[in-house]
Structure 1
Amino acid sequence: MPITEDDSITAVPPKTWVRLNNPVVQNFITGLVIACSAGIYLALTGLGAGGGKPSSQYLASTSNSILYALFAVSGWVSAGFLNAFGPKITMAIGVLGYPLYAGGLWYFDASGNDWFALFGAVMNGIGAGLLFTGAGFVQFAYAEEKEKGTYIFWQHTMLSGGAIIGAIVTFAINFYRAKASVPTSVYAIFVAIMTFASLLALTFIISPKNIIRHDGTHLAKFKKTTVKEELIILPAILAALLDAQWIGIRKVRGIIGVIFTAATTISLAAAELNYFKQKVDRTKSGPSMDWSDPGYANIMILHLLWGGCFCCWTFMVQWIMGSMSNKPEVLSRYAGLFKGTSALGVCVAFAIDARKPQYWVEMSIHFALYMVAIFIMAYVVWFSITDTDYLREDGVIAPKKVVEDLVGPDGTSLDTEKSYQTEFAEEKK
């Protein structure tokens, strides 16, 4: 049953982990949804110029610019939609843009007409913001503080798994194929899998009000907000990103993570800058390469390492944002802001590339932005991450073990700097 102001904040502890209202299960299902949609999309875009022929690079650049520009806007405003309709509807609708985009590329590859592909890019951009806002909400709000890194890890692992499976399917179909285009069977399989993802969300994603931890506690007391309230709160969220006074163990873990991410980025950027500077001239036509050609392995290794580096950045930023609050309505906004701003960065990257600078110049710009971002991450971790946010936010229901550790026998928080009275303590009395 949904939790209300008059309900108890706890329920009878469930006897099994295999249940739909288990937050771990909901995160797993969410991972399947993004694996079957965004993961397959990544496999599709890895086929060449946006999934089309090598000569269709213009369509890839145009459609991706449209897609990520709308992704940015959609991500920024999707939290209001999520808070109004919940993660089930948000993700189910968001997924629908992916089969439309794949279908548009299919139509372009078959007919040479680009209108459907551009329409699909519009719908995918809007839908991606909804999908990842919903997915981010689940990984941020459903996890206990000690589990947030694990929830983020599993979603990204399943996203990558979807891309890998899609790539394996394509590789198997194309193994003996010499024609430079995508077979109809690949498009058909991808569209079917992406459509299935929407049905998966509609069938198995449930309301966050019905989520129950294994100790019997709910996540929070939920209160719907209006669209006006959602828009007004955006400036406050941005200010909150750089406003905190607490020091704790999580801060140290965060700094270690930032240092690791910085070291990985600097090493790979130096290697790629050297490669582009020495071996690639954009003013000259480069050779077409297949996976069996000499020299392909070196490029692929660098590409794979950058994929790992991207995961480090995504994981680190999401861990930081997830560590700044436990309130579901706040975390839904963080999720939307993260994906929207990430998409804006991709859009800017396409805009830079459209001017056709040398690749080492592009890499230099990206490297400079990486360095700025590293200092920003370090600042936010040091000044904004607390050891725990439980008992400090109204409406958030802490796990029983956390309450036992933080609340003394008289119902007063054991935090000697702040004596927080909590609804949990009142219930104990």
Structure 2
Amino acid sequence: MSGTTGAESEKAYKRSEDGSHIDHEGRVIFPQPTGLRRIYCHPLTQASSLSEAGLIFPIIIAKFILRQAVLLGFVCFMCPGLFNALNGLGAGGQVDSTTSANANSVLYATFALGAFFAGSVTNKIGAKRALLLGSTGYALYIGSFLAVNIHPKAGGFVIAAGAVLGLCAGLLWTAQGSLMLAYPTEAQKGVYIGVFWAIFNLGAVVGASVSLGQNFHSKANSVGNGTYIGFLILTLIGVLIPLLMVDPNDMVRTDGTKVTAPRHPSWKVEIYGLWVTLRTDPMIILLFPMFFTSNWFYTWQFNEYNNALFNIRARSLNNLVYWFAQILGSISIGFLLDQQSIARRTRAFAGWAILLSMVFVVHIWAYFYQKDYTRESIPPDAEKMDIFDHRYTSRVLLYIACGLLDAMWQTTAYWIIGAMSNDPGKLAHFTGFYKSFQSAGGAGVWRADAVKTPFMNVFISTWALLVGGLVFALPMIYMRVKERTELSDEVLARMDDSGRIRVAAEVRTSRQEHRPSKMEQS
């Protein structure tokens, strides 16, 4: 603030009626809510995240239990979390994987198409409505598997439900990603992502526990109706959770800054914003290969490994430990990425190196198992490996390592996106790109499984694409990740409702002049 007089400086720091003031960087700092509203409106409560990045794990859990209301994290706990538990069983809990593979292929195809534009839709209708609409597709999809369990010829309904879920999931994950990355300060994003991912995967852990309990003594290779009914009830509860969420306009970060209020311009301006996002931040394109492969590995893990080798009891236990490993993986990598004693660029490169190491460890290990079996060597009615088999321990440990890799990959990808922006509008577009390309990859590999592509081909493609995604991401990290995101980087945050991009100084002045009074807040 060079060039300002002492009187001007004193005026700039003067508190308004609502208690807000301007800090030395020109940011409007708002006071935190008090009482129960402080808990309810806390970014932790709304994003299922944590504010103090330096706390040890037991304190995290204690504060989470006390503060966490069933909001954003629990939408994903009840909906995508249980979807993952169902998919993690292999073949959606069925004997024949063809129907589930085709349903997943259609799901990810519509997901890819819908997610690309989901950022514009979310910015237009608001994150709460996007979450509400998005969660309904998960209930329909899980209900379709109950239907096919009762009526075996209802496979077409499962595929149709997958198509609907793809469109719904694009909205849910785009809204989730924009809020999860916008609510924390820059110093907290890794932990917020990690703890959110842990809560989300806790849904899969609960679902896997239900499945294990239901099927522990089963002699069949598929789950019963009770498992699907339990999943469906929990998912329907998740559909209602967005109704309880706080409006993003009311969110104040833990450092006193307010989350950028979402704009609701015309559809024309919103679609134009999608183009502006790509044109002004083209480095995001280098992350597209990393996005593309971020769901590719599920097909080999769930169908070509878990479903191919194990009976339903072992599949259920594998599913449980896989998603529990995700909780540990997401929290651990989240802490590393938020270590403030290390420069942000250094943390980005460290996260990249950890992912590369994990990719090679997991896939070298898995190769020694995959080379010993094919589709033809394991017919559907074959007697499969049980938890009491002497070979089981080493193979379940590999599955745990797969879960760790998945969580670390997703958390790091989100963290890199979060390092590029703090604006919910821009983050909605970035998250839409992420889910779009992720789903395009998923659609391709699930279709490959449906047409019975050899197991080894799917495995090698998984390994190669993961390495390729990291290779493309490296120059993007080098050229784009900075120590701090400035307002000059936030092009969409500087765009008005007519599509005009304002200079940073004009935006700062506007924010300072339009601080809400007490009457406006009430």
Q: Same fold (TM over 0.5)?
A: yes
**Aligned-residue CA RMSD (Å):** 2.8
SS of residue matched to 1:242: helix
Indicate if the aligned counterparts of 2:170 and 2:436 stay in contact, CA closer than 8 A.
Answer: yes
Indicate if the aligned counterparts of 1:14 and 1:215 stay in contact, CA closer than 8 A.
Answer: no
Aligned to 2:133: 93
Using the TM superposition, give the Cα deviation of residue 165 of structure 1 relative to its aligned residue in structure 2, in angstroms. 0.8
Aligned to 2:44: 24
Relative to 1, partners in 2 of residues 1:236 and 1:423: Cα closer, same or farther, differing over 3 Å?
closer
Aligned to 1:182: 223
C-alpha separation in 1, matches of 2:182 and 2:374: 47
Point out the more displaced range, 64-73 or 282-291.
282-291
Relative to 1, partners in 2 of residues 1:241 and 1:31: Cα closer, same or farther, differing over 3 Å?
farther
Indicate if the aligned counterparts of 2:97 and 2:450 stay in contact, CA closer than 8 A.
Answer: no
Q: Does 1:47 align with 2:112?
A: no
Q: Does 1:296 align with 2:336?
A: no
Aligned to 2:236: 195
Using the TM superposition, give the Cα deviation of residue 352 of structure 1 relative to its aligned residue in structure 2, in angstroms. 3.0
- In the superposition, the TM-score normalised over structure 2's length comes to 0.70
C-alpha separation in 2, matches of 1:22 and 1:424: 27
Relative to 1, partners in 2 of residues 1:70 and 1:98: Cα closer, same or farther, differing over 3 Å?
same
Aligned to 1:145: 186
Letter paired with 1:22: H
Indicate if the aligned counterparts of 1:219 and 1:396 stay in contact, CA closer than 8 A.
Answer: no
1:275 paired residue among 361, 369, 373 = 369
Aligned to 2:168: 127
- In the superposition, the TM-score normalised over structure 1's length comes to 0.85
Relative to 1, partners in 2 of residues 1:395 and 1:384: Cα closer, same or farther, differing over 3 Å?
closer
C-alpha separation in 2, matches of 1:21 and 1:261: 34
SS of residue matched to 2:422: coil
Letter paired with 1:257: G
Relative to 1, partners in 2 of residues 1:357 and 1:221: Cα closer, same or farther, differing over 3 Å?
closer
Q: Within 5 Å, which residues of 2 pair with 1:222-301?
A: 222-239=262-279, 240-242=281-283, 249-277=343-371, 279-285=372-378, 287=382, 288-301=384-397
Aligned to 2:452: 356
C-alpha separation in 1, matches of 2:112 and 2:510: 42
Q: Indicate the percent of aligned positions where both proteins have the same amino acid.
A: 25
Indicate if the aligned counterparts of 2:98 and 2:450 stay in contact, CA closer than 8 A.
Answer: no
SS of residue matched to 2:167: helix
2:461 paired residue among 365, 372, 377 = 365
Using the TM superposition, give the Cα deviation of residue 345 of structure 1 relative to its aligned residue in structure 2, in angstroms. 1.3
2:151 paired residue among 104, 111, 127 = 111
Q: Within 5 Å, which residues of 2 pair with 1:317-356?
A: 317-356=413-452
Relative to 1, partners in 2 of residues 1:330 and 1:284: Cα closer, same or farther, differing over 3 Å?
same
Using the TM superposition, give the Cα deviation of residue 222 of structure 1 relative to its aligned residue in structure 2, in angstroms. 3.5
Q: Which runs of 5+ in 1 are unaligned?
A: 398-418
Relative to 1, partners in 2 of residues 1:267 and 1:395: Cα closer, same or farther, differing over 3 Å?
closer
CA offsets, 1:239-272, max 9 Å, x none? 514189xxx9311110111011101101211222
C-alpha separation in 2, matches of 1:233 and 1:189: 42
SS of residue matched to 2:79: helix
Indicate if the aligned counterparts of 1:30 and 1:135 stay in contact, CA closer than 8 A.
Answer: yes
C-alpha separation in 1, matches of 2:120 and 2:172: 13
Using the TM superposition, give the Cα deviation of residue 63 of structure 1 relative to its aligned residue in structure 2, in angstroms. 0.6
Using the TM superposition, give the Cα deviation of residue 33 of structure 1 relative to its aligned residue in structure 2, in angstroms. 0.9
Aligned to 2:410: 314
CA offsets, 1:116-175, max 9 Å, x none? 212221221111111111110111111111111111101110121110111111111222
Letter paired with 1:207: D
Relative to 1, partners in 2 of residues 1:324 and 1:186: Cα closer, same or farther, differing over 3 Å?
same
- Structure 1 runs of 4+ aligned residues shifted over 4 Å read 394-397, 419-422, 424-428
